[in-house]
Structure 1
């Protein structure tokens, strides 16, 4: 995937150059004195020492966060000189986690999907939306930071990957996008167990399992410094394969459809590129089948706009077709990509051989 890496690096360089040089973060101005309080889902009961589990919700209320602070940091997605705002997140951080103490990013283990971004409306509107919609990147996580320095947000607790053994579970705040502001580095402990609780979602069934192509996940998660995540019936497994949950099966006498539900989003760093793969359908006709998906209409709009396209042809042996008709698992089905797959980045990733497909019941 050398060409994909070059494309990503070129894009990042272009956006960085257009944004200008990184500025040093100014000292926080009085009278803003940051503080946070964390409550249970009702928004009024202090979290205290209540035992919480994956799927539980907490409400975080902040005061005293200067909406004009944090003007330094990464030049994208927020340009230099524009207040970068503050991250609010749940995670398991090292004892030494503070950016102002030069703690590495790896010391702050969290789940981006449950990270909020407190930023003023004025700052949000000053983030460019052309030629790349960097404003969308922030808006997905944005929580309004009011002129008086207050914000309120909800966070659903999830267990992040690779949490350090000696870390501390809690709600944390710190300067967003590599801005550094020691006064905003706050921590409220959470008594959290990774064991399932009453609000923990049940794992989606892995009925359709497909890696797309051998380097699909690694291209986004490693080369492009982003990630691949699943929701609503989909998952991105540790085996670097995507999975979707069976929603309907109309296959009879060797013909019909297998419909699946779930959303997979693959993104690069800063979400400059973001592609969604949603709700696959396999149309079966004897020993041949066509796999279609709803995909993003551009390289950068994720689930904002989707349309269905045929992605791959599947080739079944007679024995595999017979097993499929009897609703028995069929693994290792050869697949080949169709031509003209869009958006362009997905088409580029489809120039490699397609990974085999597993169908499970």
Structure 2
């Protein structure tokens, strides 16, 4: 399986690079290739046994095993933006590691899309393919986030979506985005019915370090929900997202911060067939808010903090999660970054006993992986090499 995946990566790189090399100057000059490798070690303060998972819905994405060294991710990105001078662009990203093999269950191909910039208004950009989500403040890439772990609010957001999206700046300060997607939750590249999802939103840049986005996403999530529940033929439901992100950078660029509020509503109908057992007509509402900041102590060193809360309402029952994360980072020679992190989580609620499908949060795991604790603490260390 590993050889097959590596072969896919090699073929993808060759396909992307060949036309770039063959074409004249400007296209090749605008094409960038980035890569990085992230590895980590984590310790759960509960002293969990090796077989116990510390993930609960998940409260600890990508770091399921305690007391474990792991390859978080190996990432390769080839990107050529669409500009006024060169209107055709493209992007492809490959990923491998714990981030993608265990929790996300994504293919090696993370994102892949074309883009075309039309001479309309301030520049209208059409993008199609496997696209990164427009929802949320955090990313799946180790180089993009303040912290080692992703947050609990990020856990209810999409990662990527397949479809067609149009962006345009209507003024120098305000942009509009509209699009059609296969699925509002997943990035599935195949969709066997006419039911689709729509996305729309605003982006703004007010200058002096103030920017943000407001995004709504709604549509049918039948096939992805069916797969998650163990039977693609029986799941049926609609999912709605409303997401607000506000970003701020200080004038001296030492302090950067963001605030993210996300609302997700799922109206699910499911008839049990075999492996999955769920009530018919399950309504799930999730509301999350997260805030994070990083302060640069020097050009090579910084400290970050994130605080967040997630409330989930399932057919009249309420479940709460909260987390506080502190991270320090130090960069050596601009390529190698070391990070250390302490994270404390709180959860109060119940899981669907015997069949936790990750639809809503429960209590945190004990040393054997049983979900019956309200508090959990984790220490993590990570190294990220960029080249």
Larger CA Rg, structure 1 vs 2: 1
Q: TM-score, normalised by structure 1?
A: 0.26
